[in-house]
């Protein structure tokens, strides 16, 4: 029997997976929450990737789209979407296969609860039901195999100590930006004029720090948890864009910039509207532009700063609610599927370019025929690169595709 495959998410990895399925002759439907493909990539479209076209285009994409860009130039997210991902969606192979504006809200094994039929064949032989939010209301769909390629960008982490929201953070959620500021378009509007608190130390935070520090009317206060960050430096980094971010971050931390103050070894204790609202029976919302009082725990002791804007870039983690009713063994440390997490934690070094292909067995979950691929599969680990996702797609779709038995990891 030919399995029906549901790919969730039309980002780079979902599109590559969809092409792999059509290449193999398997009926595939891609469900994309946004109005078009690459919704997440477009959300950070102004940011330049630090990997070049050569690494960003999978061999399968290139075979389908010979005009795909080549070479060592690094595209922006928008260029990646415009020049690669959107053209892929127009290929005959994918025509009619992508359902846009269709969010998968939850996934189940039809008629089975999570704790039923543990490790027996019944689950493998029972189709999945997908609950869909569509422009016409709720709907359901069935599939025999599900590839969850939903990424992470819609699920930002909070900024408080130990990963929970800081006191005041939830009440001030409407004042906190959790996506990468576009300082090029915002420059004209003085969007970031005043004092900006930036929290986080990964590549997204480093990118934001670099860009915000160039704005003449902005004073940047950058809070970094690590007392001695090395900014993810990699010796003899083969990716110059990544090395440049490390260098700029180190310079900012060395106080080499008049309009930037970097607090290392520091966490946010609380956020309060300033002046604090007078207690009333019905709390009134904080005005959109009132300064915010931020209490910091620094190595020198408590400190207070008043800021006009908060940018929280403390990482992103995939949405676990999608697969809550499925048998997925998540790593207690990273939230990634257990076997993959163990493989990633066990691989040496911080250079995502050096990560080996993990093999299909590592991508399997206790829930048969349910795979998490792409950025979401790395949980809290921030070392995911497109190239690793394309390898995952290969592993799940191709290794046994041409064996005598015809058994593929996706065959039922």
Ligand X SMILES: Cc1cc2nc3c(=O)[nH]c(=O)nc-3n(C[C@H](O)[C@H](O)[C@H](O)COP(=O)(O)OP(=O)(O)OC[C@H]3O[C@@H](n4cnc5c(N)ncnc54)[C@H](O)[C@@H]3O)c2cc1C
CB contact set of 390 (below 8 Å; sequence gap of 6+): 12, 13, 16, 58, 59, 60
Asked if 180 is part of the footprint of ligand X (rule: CB under 6 A), the reply reads yes
Q: Which residue has the tokens 């680990």?
A: 381
CB closer to ligand X, 11 vs 409 = 11
Asked if 84 is part of the footprint of ligand X (rule: CB under 6 A), the reply reads no
Burial class (CB in 10 A: 0-12, 13-18, 19+), 202: middle
Name 145's bridge partners.
5
Q: List the x/- string, 182-211, binding to ligand X by CB under 6 A.
A: ----------------------x-------
Round to whole Å and give the CA distance between 392 and 382: 16
- At its nearest, how many Å lie between ligand X and the CB of residue 318? 9
- At its nearest, how many Å lie between ligand X and the CB of residue 261? 24
Q: Which stretch binds ligand X (CB under 6 A): 146-154, 194-202, 333-341, 356-364?
A: 146-154
**What is the token pair recorded at 310?**
């908060």
Q: Which stretch binds ligand X (CB under 6 A): 12-20, 189-197, 254-262, 280-288?
A: 12-20
Q: Is 205:197 a contact under the CB 8 Å cutoff?
A: no
Q: Rule CB under 6 A: which of 42-81 touch ligand X?
A: 44, 47, 49-51
CB closer to ligand X, 218 vs 317 = 317
**Cis previous bond, 275, omega within 30:** yes
**What is the token pair recorded at 342?**
């163990």
Judged by CB under 6 A, the residue of 5, 6, 7, 13 near ligand X is: 13
Judged by CB under 6 A, the residue of 6, 19, 21, 104 near ligand X is: 104
Q: Rule CB under 6 A: which of 322-351 touch ligand X?
A: 322
Asked if 389 is part of the footprint of ligand X (rule: CB under 6 A), the reply reads yes
CB closer to ligand X, 85 vs 172 = 85
CB closer to ligand X, 192 vs 390 = 390
Judged by CB under 6 A, the residue of 4, 6, 7, 14 near ligand X is: 14
- At its nearest, how many Å lie between ligand X and the CB of residue 14? 5
Which residues would be at the binding site for ligand X (CB under 6 A)? 8-14, 31-34, 38-41, 44, 47, 49-51, 103-104, 149-151, 153-154, 180, 204, 322, 374-375, 384-386, 389
């Amino acid at each position: 029997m030919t399995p029906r495959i549901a790919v969730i998410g039309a980002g780079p990895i979902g599109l590559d997976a969809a092409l792999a399925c059509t290449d193999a002759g398997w009926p595939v439907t891609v469900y994309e929450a946004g109005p078009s493909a690459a919704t997440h990539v477009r959300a950070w479209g102004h940011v330049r990737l630090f990997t070049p076209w050569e690494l960003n285009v999978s061999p399968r994409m290139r075979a389908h789209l010979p005009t795909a860009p080549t070479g060592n130039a690094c595209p922006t997210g928008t260029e990646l979407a415009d020049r690669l991902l959107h053209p892929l969606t127009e290929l005959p192979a994918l025509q009619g296969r992508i359902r846009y504006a269709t969010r998968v809200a939850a996934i189940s094994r039809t008629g089975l609860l999570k704790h039923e039929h543990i490790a027996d064949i019944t689950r493998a032989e029972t189709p999945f039901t997908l609950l869909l939010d569509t422009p016409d209301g709720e709907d359901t769909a069935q599939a025999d195999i599900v590839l969850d390629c939903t990424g992470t960008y819609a699920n930002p982490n909070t900024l408080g100590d130990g990963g929970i929201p800081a006191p005041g953070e939830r009440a001030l959620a409407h004042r906190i930006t959790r996506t990468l500021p576009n300082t090029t378009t915002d420059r004209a509007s003085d969007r970031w004029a005043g004092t900006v608190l930036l929290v986080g130390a990964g590549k997204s935070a480093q990118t934001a720090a670099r860009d915000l520090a160039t704005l003449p009317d902005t004073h940047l206060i950058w809070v970094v948890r690590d007392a001695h960050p090395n900014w993810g430096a990699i010796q003899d980094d083969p990716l110059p864009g990544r090395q440049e971010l490390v260098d700029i971050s180190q310079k900012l931390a060395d106080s080499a910039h008049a309009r930037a103050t970097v607090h290392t070894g520091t966490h946010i204790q609380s956020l309060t509207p300033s002046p604090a609202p007078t207690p009333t029976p019905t709390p009134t919302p904080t005005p959109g532009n009132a300064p915010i009082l931020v209490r910091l725990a620094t190595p020198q002791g408590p400190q207070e700063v008043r800021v006009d804007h908060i940018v929280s870039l403390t990482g992103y983690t995939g949405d676990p609610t999608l697969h809550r009713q499925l048998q997925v063994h998540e790593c207690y440390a990273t939230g990634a599927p257990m076997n993959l997490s163990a493989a990633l934690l066990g691989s040496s070094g911080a250079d995502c370019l050096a990560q080996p292909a993990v093999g299909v067995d590592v991508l399997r979950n206790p829930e048969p025929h349910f795979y998490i691929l792409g950025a979401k599969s790395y949980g809290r680990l921030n070392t995911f690169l497109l190239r690793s996702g394309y390898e995952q797609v290969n592993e799940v779709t191709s290794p046994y595709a041409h064996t005598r038995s015809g058994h593929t990891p996706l065959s039922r």
